């Protein structure tokens, strides 16, 4: 009986653990630390029903809360969703085009109307 040669495969497997899919975007945001009234511009790079990847111009700390406006097109009009998000991670981005700080945000307070607008926008991205 001939012995078969066994081949082993090695590599990295990356399983998506997120419940909601993320969509790549390039949209402006406006943010302010809660409870500060002064706002700053930023950029959103991806979005899901539960959070955003953003570039911010100022350093924020993990577990801080941001009041955020996300601006996106819907047909011929510009929509805006206001929400409160928590900073869940942060790292430094050295490029000058996007801002200095890349952060992951998780939505903690969004109105039902705002969530519906966001869901409609996400559906339009998946079509």
Every domain of the chain and the residues it spans = 23-126
Is 99's pLDDT higher than 90?
no
Tens of pLDDT, residues 26-75: 999 999 999 988 999 999 999 999 999 999 988 899 999 999 999 988 76
Band the pLDDT of 124: cuts 50, 70, 90: confident
Place of tokens 């047909």: 75
Is 10's pLDDT higher than 70?
no
Do 39 and 30 form a contact (C-beta atoms < 8 A)?
yes
Band the pLDDT of 13: cuts 50, 70, 90: very low
Q: May I ask the CATH class of domain 23-126?
A: mainly beta
- Residue 124's contacts (CB-CB under 8 Å, 6 or more residues apart) are 74
Over residues 98-115, mean pLDDT: 89
SS3 (DSSP) at 61? coil
Do 87 and 113 form a contact (C-beta atoms < 8 A)?
no
Cα(67)–Cα(87) distance, integer angstroms? 11
Chain centroid, CA 25 distance in Å: 9
Is 23's pLDDT higher than 50?
yes
pLDDT at residue number 81: 94
Cα(52)–Cα(46) distance, integer angstroms? 6
Q: Return mean pLDDT, the chain.
A: 83
Is 6's pLDDT higher than 60?
no
């Amino acid at each position: 009986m001939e012995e078969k040669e066994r081949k082993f495969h090695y590599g990295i497997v990356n399983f998506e653990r997120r419940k909601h899919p993320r969509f790549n975007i390039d949209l402006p945001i406006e943010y302010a630390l809660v409870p500060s009234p002064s706002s700053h511009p930023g950029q959103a790079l991806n979005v899901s029903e539960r959070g955003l990847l953003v570039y911010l111009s100022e350093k924020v700390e993990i577990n801080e809360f941001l009041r955020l406006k996300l601006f996106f097109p819907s047909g011929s009009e510009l929509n805006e969703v206001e929400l409160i998000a928590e900073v869940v991670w942060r790292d430094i981005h050295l490029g000058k085009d996007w801002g200095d700080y890349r952060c992951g945000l998780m939505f903690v307070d969004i109105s039902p109307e705002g969530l519906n607008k966001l869901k409609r926008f996400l559906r339009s991205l998946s079509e």
